[in-house]
A and B are shown apart, each in its own frame.
Chain A
Amino acid sequence: MTSPWAVLQRTLWTAGLLSLAAAIGILLVYTPTEATMGPVQKIFYLHLPMAINTFLACLVVFIASIGYLWQRSTWWDDLAAAAAKVAVVLCSGVLITGMIWGRSAWGQWWTWSPRLTFSLMLWLLYVVYLTVRMSIESAQRRAVVSAAYGVIAFLDVPLVWLSARLLPDIHPASIQLIAPMKLTLAIWFVPVTLIACGLIMARYNLNRLNRQWQRGVELVDTPAPRMRVAGGVA
């Protein structure tokens, strides 16, 4: 009864949650506390993997959007929608952890520094993607508009990044990490990436089911075609 797809998903989630537990354990026990920032610095191990995974999710949106424009099959559209939602969730996480970091390092919740500005603009780009999806009723039109937007938005990302760098910067360009810190960071990539993939898959499943259900509703709601009597009034 269980399809390979369901098995894959279950494995992904199990591995993701187990590695998350392990990563939290390592963070609490093994990872040294940074000297100047104290325990708040540990937020960094979550912050960076989430940022990288945000890009990956955006990349999935881009590929799925191109796939949709090319093949016009609905599953590309469902995949793009799922990835965009996860991208927004992850990017929100990046923004929140970044703001907590900023508050503790620079004493301000928000500065218009390049990376913060970039995260905000990225978040806006993909929040708009989701809003566009919500505001178009025709499923086919929604898919085309959001696919075109998904392509344009992703191409815009490097430009957003470059233009944000024109602003004056206080964000650390590269952080000096000692070996145990690097190891912790590497370990944290595992659960965050697995959970991000798991979320995309779960959301994708939901989108597929939703589409089937919609189709079912349409079939039920549409009245049966009226019988036409040839050559006369029915």
Chain B
Amino acid sequence: MQALRQILHLTAKDLRIEARSRQTLGLVVVLGILIVTVLGLGLGAQQSGGPAATAVLWVAYLFSGVLCFEKTMALERHDGALAGLLLAPLDRGVIYAGKLLSNLVLMFAVGAVITPVGILFFGFDLSAHPLGFLAIMGMSLIGFAAVGTLFAALVSSTRLAGGLLAMVVFPVTLPLVISSTQMMSRLFAEAGQWNGRAFAILLAFDLIFVVVSWLAFEWVIEP
């Protein structure tokens, strides 16, 4: 119970900073819209429809996600905030959970803007299974944020932070990309079938990497 309160406290702190500075969201949302636009222009009108839209949304999520995770971690690097956080009488796992939660809130906020734009530009008809779409994307974002939060904490102390983060997170999240796009194509193109196996992979990814990242965090975090 106390741990939960601490997690919420940390998340609230991050979100409060974000609400006052509006540094991350503005940047990340604009980047996402730019990516969707560039890909829309590049692919042209003939490529519109389900599969292309999911792929484009994924590219937008991946890049804006990496930027988002990097920014929220960079916040802690200012004025030795992280050292203070590590000195606080908290379990390190709680720090991870708090960061993950605030990253998730931000990513859902970003997704709430980018996704409609992508759907609009690519003429993706969601009306058949809106809830299925939300569930798949939501679960993918959880797994993505779990890995991203851990690696953001790891590479933030290195000189190349941003580029390196993208490089380590992208290959690890490939299973999410494959299983969610496969589920989408089954759900929207092939008469609304629910791809159970892909869903199981998504679920397994979320569980494994939330738990492992949470455990690994205290071994790797350094002020």
Footprint of B on A, CB under 8 Å? 69, 121, 124-125, 128, 131-132, 135-138, 141, 144-145, 147-149, 151-153, 155-156, 159-160, 162-164, 166-167
Query: What are the residues of chain A within 8 A of B178 when measuring CB–CB?
Result: 163-164, 166-167
Which residues of chain B from 128 to 163 have a CB within 8 Å of any chain A CB? Answer: 147, 150-151, 154-155, 157-160
- Does A135 contact B158, Cβ atoms closer than 8 Å? yes
- Does A69 contact B219, Cβ atoms closer than 8 Å? yes
Which residues of chain B from 191 to 223 have a CB within 8 Å of any chain A CB? Answer: 195, 197-198, 201, 204-205, 208-209, 212-213, 216, 219-220, 222
**B interface SS class:** helix
Query: What are the residues of chain B within 8 A of A138 when measuring CB–CB?
Result: 158
Query: What are the residues of chain A within 8 A of B147 when measuring CB–CB?
Result: 152
Contact with A along B159-184 (1 / 0, CB 8 A): 11000100110011011101100100
- Does B158 contact A145, Cβ atoms closer than 8 Å? yes
- Nearest Cβ on chain B to A64's Cβ, whole angstroms: 15
How many residue pairs link A and B with beta carbons under 8 A? The number is 93
- Does B159 contact A137, Cβ atoms closer than 8 Å? yes
Query: What are the residues of chain B within 8 A of A121 when measuring CB–CB?
Result: 171, 174
Q: Which listed residue, B150, B174, B201, touches A152 by the CB 8 Å rule?
A: B150
- Does A131 contact B167, Cβ atoms closer than 8 Å? yes
Q: List 24 A-B contacts (CB under 8 A).
A: A124-B171, A125-B172, A132-B164, A132-B167, A135-B158, A136-B158, A137-B158, A137-B159, A144-B154, A145-B155, A148-B151, A148-B220, A149-B151, A149-B154, A149-B168, A152-B147, A153-B172, A155-B212, A156-B172, A156-B175, A163-B182, A166-B197, A166-B198, A167-B182
Q: Which listed residue, A128, A152, A163, touches B179 by the CB 8 Å rule?
A: A163
Interface residue range, chain B: 20 to 34
Expressed in whole angstroms, the Cα–Cα distance for A174 and B164 within the complex equals 39
- Does A152 contact B204, Cβ atoms closer than 8 Å? no
- Does B155 contact A163, Cβ atoms closer than 8 Å? no
Q: A160 with B175: in contact, given A69-B219, A69-B220, A166-B195 (CB under 8 Å)?
A: yes
- Does A162 contact B175, Cβ atoms closer than 8 Å? yes
Among B157, B174, B195: residue with most chain A CB under 10 A: B174
Query: What are the residues of chain A within 8 A of B198 when measuring CB–CB?
Result: 163, 166
Query: What are the residues of chain A within 8 A of B171 when measuring CB–CB?
Result: 121, 124-125, 128, 153, 156
Query: What are the residues of chain A within 8 A of B213 when measuring CB–CB?
Result: 152
The 6 tightest CB contacts between A and B, nearest first, are A163-B175, A159-B175, A163-B178, A166-B182, A124-B171, A148-B220
